[in-house]
Amino acid sequence: MQRGDMSSGGGRTMRDRTFAPSRILIYLVVFLIAVAWLAPLAVVVLNSLRSNEEIAQGSMIGWPQHLAWSNYATAWSGFCVAETCAGIRPYVLNSALVTVPATIFSTLLGAIAGYAVSLWRFRGDSWIYGIVTLGIFLPQQMRLLPWTIVLRDTGLMNTLTGLVVIHTIQGLSFTTLFCRNYYTAIPQELIRAARIDGAGFFRIFWRIILPLSPPILVVTVIWQFTHIWNEFLYGVTFTTGQQQPVTAALIALSAAVADIPQHGVQSAAVMIAALPTLLIYLIGGKYFVRGLTAGAVK
């Protein structure tokens, strides 16, 4: 028995050694991809801690000789953007005022829509589901003209409310898709039993479906928050001046200092703008993966 175990163990060892070079190659490829992916972030982080003089005397790539934490304070409240010198603080607030309500509204509406087309079946539900999710495959550029007409006719052009409306409606494609795929795993017997007890559409949703939804709601919240916060095209197209979100303001910030580049402060501003989404993923990343594996993507 011992000899057999040793031989089998030796066989496993020989197989492991046989596949060792391929494993090393896989690890090397993954490592190179990770380096290539993280290199721009590393450059921005390092430059955000370097003074403008240090960057001007050296290059855009290098370790900071002295940590210039003042870059962050300057980028937050003392940096000129366009014709003002208020820093990016008001634009970060604009992004928050757009992202938070749009994320909440699109997640809630997507949950109701996903529940309707998956558990509350009706004639034409498959067509409605297909039309809603069709928005996933339409490029943003195709939607600029229709949204321009809608915002103009409703008086929401160059307002944060207009951006909330845009991101809420366009987010329904993803949130409905996620929630519908998740809700299909809920037994129909629960819905039938609730109907027999006299519960209606919204009572079943609030009392039965919503308490079972935290995994997928975490997925949709993280997805929507990240997408809306990082969105640039609609922000720069439909807003100007003090109404712009932070992604659009960063471009104005770069243009405002084109004659005298301040790479350290600009890098700090980019890091501040990226911080909310980084925190969302650091805090809720594991819940995001759990939600996906629980049925968000099939």
Identify the weakest region by mean pLDDT among 19-28, 152-161, 274-283. Answer: 19-28
Total domain count, the chain: 2
Domain limits for position 60 = 2-75
- Point out the domain boundary residue: 30, 53, 75: 75
The pTM for the full model equals 0.82
Q: In the prediction, which pLDDT does 225 show?
A: 94
Mean pLDDT of the chain: 83
Regarding whether 39 and 185 lie in a shared domain, the answer is: no
Q: Is the pLDDT of residue 30 over 70?
A: yes
- Backbone φ, ψ for residue 85 (5° rounding): -125, 50
Helix axes 140-154, 160-183, angle to 10 degrees: 130
Regarding whether 180 and 68 lie in a shared domain, the answer is: no
Q: Is the pLDDT of residue 105 over 60?
A: yes
The CA–CA distances, whole Å, from 99 to 104, 112, 227, 235 equal 9, 20, 9, 12
Regarding whether 261 and 141 lie in a shared domain, the answer is: yes
Confidence of residue 235 (pLDDT cuts 50, 70, 90): very high
For 81, the 3-state DSSP assignment is strand
Regarding whether 68 and 84 lie in a shared domain, the answer is: no
Regarding whether 124 and 33 lie in a shared domain, the answer is: no
% the chain with pLDDT above 90: 35
Regarding whether 242 and 155 lie in a shared domain, the answer is: yes
Q: In the prediction, which pLDDT does 84 show?
A: 53
pLDDT one-digit tens code per residue, 177-200? 999 989 988 888 888 888 888 888
Q: In the prediction, which pLDDT does 140 show?
A: 84
Question: What average pLDDT does this structure show over 8-21?
Answer: 53
Q: In the prediction, which pLDDT does 29 show?
A: 93
Comparison of pLDDT for 10 and 99, the residue scoring more? 99
- Point out the domain boundary residue: 56, 75, 94: 75
Regarding whether 83 and 67 lie in a shared domain, the answer is: no
Regarding whether 205 and 227 lie in a shared domain, the answer is: yes
Regarding whether 118 and 238 lie in a shared domain, the answer is: yes
Q: In the prediction, which pLDDT does 152 show?
A: 94
Q: In the prediction, which pLDDT does 6 show?
A: 46
pLDDT one-digit tens code per residue, 54-77? 877 777 777 888 888 888 988 888
- Point out the domain boundary residue: 75, 94, 127: 75
According to DSSP, the residues that pair with 84 across neighbouring strands are 81
Q: Is the pLDDT of residue 283 over 60?
A: yes
CATH of the domain at 174: 1.10.3720.10
Spatial distance between the Cα atoms of 51 and 67, rounded to a whole number of angstroms = 8
Regarding whether 83 and 70 lie in a shared domain, the answer is: no
Count other C-beta atoms under 10 Å from residue 161's C-beta.
14
Longest dimension (CA), the chain: 84
Regarding whether 209 and 146 lie in a shared domain, the answer is: yes
CA geometry: angle at 146 spanning 142 and 151, to 5°?
Answer: 135
Q: In the prediction, which pLDDT does 296 show?
A: 43
Regarding whether 104 and 9 lie in a shared domain, the answer is: no
Question: What average pLDDT does this structure show over 217-230?
Answer: 92
